[in-house]
Amino acid sequence: MVLPGVPAVGPVVAADVRHALRSGRAVVALESSLITHGLPRPLNLEVALACEARVRGEGAVPATVAVHDGRLLVGLRREALEELSAAEDASKASRHTLAAALGRPGWAGTTVSATMIAAHAAGIAILATGGIGGVHHDAGRSFDVSADLEELARTPVAVVCSGPKSIVDARLTLEYLETRGVPVVGCGTDELPGFWARETGLPVPAGVGTPEEAAALAIRHWGLGLGTGIVFAVPVPREAELPREDAREAIAQALAEAGAAEITGAAATPWLLARIGELTGGRSVVANRALIEHNAGIAARIAVALLRYSGGDRARA
């Protein structure tokens, strides 16, 4: 229901994305909170442009999602990406803050959960990001569980990532996703990737060796009418890896400092990632960039295969 005087707030799909969807071309959604909150300037713009280039290079059309002046945008032109990356007052839009973000002027970067909502509404099946949120280490006390996980349990979009972010509890995150019926599928690995690290020591319930196998699995899953998203977990490129042993001390120190400073909620993740970057001499940032760009390319290959196998239809229930 649209109330009198309140505009509709469905996604505004860019012309090139709309044309691609109508003509049966593969499209990959890209989240934008990593542009507004996850990477420092000017690296954020460099990575955003590189991700779009990776998607195009694999034969798909990129659709970066963001909020601007009351519109949920699916697909951004170069000028808009530049403006978004330079916005110092950008907010972060998740499921619970998306309506509020649409009621304010200016920019908001969309998290995985908000990007999934926009992608599904636009008819896009695949989303690429760096890492998903998860169950935080102190969740037993704080109840801090990322909205990404619940979105994966309710919205049928496949998310290509390098596992949960390193600052969350990977084991509990995997358990949560299993409980909510979300397939976690290793791409070229039998082990859950650890974001900056290639492994966590946790086996994944299922694995695929190629994008074609990933697409076939997605079609089977959605064809069953199960209604959830899918996590396709891709290890960071080996040459850019920050082994978990090297990151563990920095992560522990950053978490302790955040606790002492009472940095919680939406502010915690960007602060922790920036602090860990400082503590690792920038090695975590190098790994972050590499995995984000790599995942965009993998997502595009899955999107192309998905479209080919499904005959141009998403094979959704």
- Biggest alpha carbon–alpha carbon distance for the chain: 57
- Whose tokens are 């995942």? That residue is 295
Q: How far is CA 141 from CA 123, 169, 258, 265, 267, in A?
A: 38, 14, 15, 13, 18
Secondary structure (3-state) at 300: helix
| Catalytic-residue membership of 92 | no
Token duo for residue 136: 């935080």
**Are the CB atoms for 174 and 192 separated by under 8 Å?**
yes
In sequence order, what are the residues at sequence separation of 6 or more whose Cβ sits closer than 8 angstroms to the Cβ of residue 112? 31, 33, 127, 129, 132, 133, 148, 151, 159, 161
Given the residues 31, 151, 241, 293, select the one marked as catalytic.
31
Q: Residue 175: which H helix or E strand, with range? A: helix 170-179
List the helix and strand counts (H, then E) for the chain.
13, 11
In sequence order, what are the residues at sequence separation of 6 or more whose Cβ sits closer than 8 angstroms to the Cβ of residue 245? none
User: Which residues face 11 on adjacent strands?
Assistant: 72
Give how far the C-alpha of residue 75 lies from the chain's centroid of Cα atoms, to the nearest Å: 15
Given the residues 92, 151, 165, 241, select the one marked as catalytic.
165
Residues serving a catalytic function are: 31, 165
